[in-house]
Structure 1
């Protein structure tokens, strides 16, 4: 999956970005294939809306395509593309009206509030119900986090990025990331103590 250039290993994304910059549409399609689902899941976790997540992913790829010439190969491609998508999500969260209801019934799933339920493997109906309710409560709590904490919590706990990677994605010092993760956890802990 990696290429070599004068003894230097070049990650596949960097090679694809080079090709796409030269007009190779197939190379860009491969970049989309590599990141489309990852970015969608990250955006959905941050925004809680399928439509908004799809919009963010589309806008992120448009920005990537328009700015391929600005991609610094010294940076991991995943960091660069996550930064673009995360910033788009943060912008949307900031623009939301305060009247947005987290408990509003989803237009996509009749009778459910908009929080997705992770499919089960071999759980009993009773344990599934408890798990679903717990997941719903946790997701509700995450959705109430201020944007600056929500982004680090989603990247850390739902996408398993390291503190260093989050710092690169959000373009902030690791110490700031640590502080926001700590404060985000405290916020969630207090919120969940009241709910669970």
Structure 2
């Protein structure tokens, strides 16, 4: 796959890395209040990620808070040699996935709900669509992303908006890199279809 358009999202810059390192070391040394620096640094991004997965801001806020609580409880497991955000995002996504599974079980009790069968296409190289996805100002495209099935939606947000690698996205989702490729392929195919339909509608007006 071709290189992704370069962005800074999902990556810790020097200042961010320094803040994370100081805060983590302080928490491990017993300064529990130091964790507040990590919350202040990442709370908005984690909340937005939870909203992207759950599509319910109120519940997303609760899940984001739970994610920070869990991160605090497991701070000793964090490897300071790695970026903090992907580690934090993995915790948040897995909690959000648990919430989605709970929601699905509740829905299945009330209606005959069947999950869509998985396909096995292969992810191709970068396209102009990926450039649009890398631009968070592409409001129309991101509105379409928000309507994708949960797994596709989450993979797209992590890979394109938060600039996480395939490996990091797979770890966050708890799936293989091949599954991430499939999710991204299906998401991009659906977005292309919708963009094409939107374009045709404009031409006929």
User: Which TM-score band (shorter chain)?
Assistant: 0.5 to 0.7
SS of aligned partner of 2:87: helix
**Equivalent of 1:35, from 22, 26, 42?**
42
- Unaligned segments of structure 2, at least 5 residues: 1-12, 111-136
What is the aligned counterpart of 1:58 among 53, 62, 65?
Answer: 65
Aligned pairs (5 A) from 1:82-93: 82-93=89-100
Q: For residue 166 of structure 1, what is the aligned residue in structure 2?
A: 169
- 1:176-191 matched pairs, under 5 angstroms: 176-190=179-193
Contact 2:19–2:37, Cα closer than 8 Å, also in 1: no
Determine the C-alpha separation between the residues in 1 that align with 2:173 and 2:81: 17
Cα RMSD after superposing both structures: 3.3
TM-score, normalization by structure 1: 0.64
Kindly indicate whether structure 1 or structure 2 has the higher relative contact order, using CA contacts under 8 Å at least 6 residues apart: 2
Aligned residues: 157
Q: Which residue of 1 aligns with 2:23?
A: 16
Distance in 1 (alpha carbons) for counterparts of 2:98 and 2:197 = 29
Residues 57-99 of structure 1, C-alpha deviations (whole Å, 9 max, x = no match): 1100110111112222343211110100111122222222368
Query: Distance in 1 between the 2:151 and 2:55 partners?
Result: 16
Deviation at 1:169, TM superposition (A): 3.2
Give the whole-Å Cα distance in 2 for the aligned partners of 1:43 and 1:187: 22
- Counterpart contact for 1:71–1:80, Cα < 8 Å: yes
C-alpha separation in 2, matches of 1:192 and 1:46 = 22
Q: Is the 8 A contact 1:19 1:27 kept in 2?
A: yes
Matched with 1:25 is 32
The equivalent of 1:114 in structure 2 is none
TM-score normalized with structure 2 length: 0.62
Q: Secondary structure at the match of 2:163?
A: coil
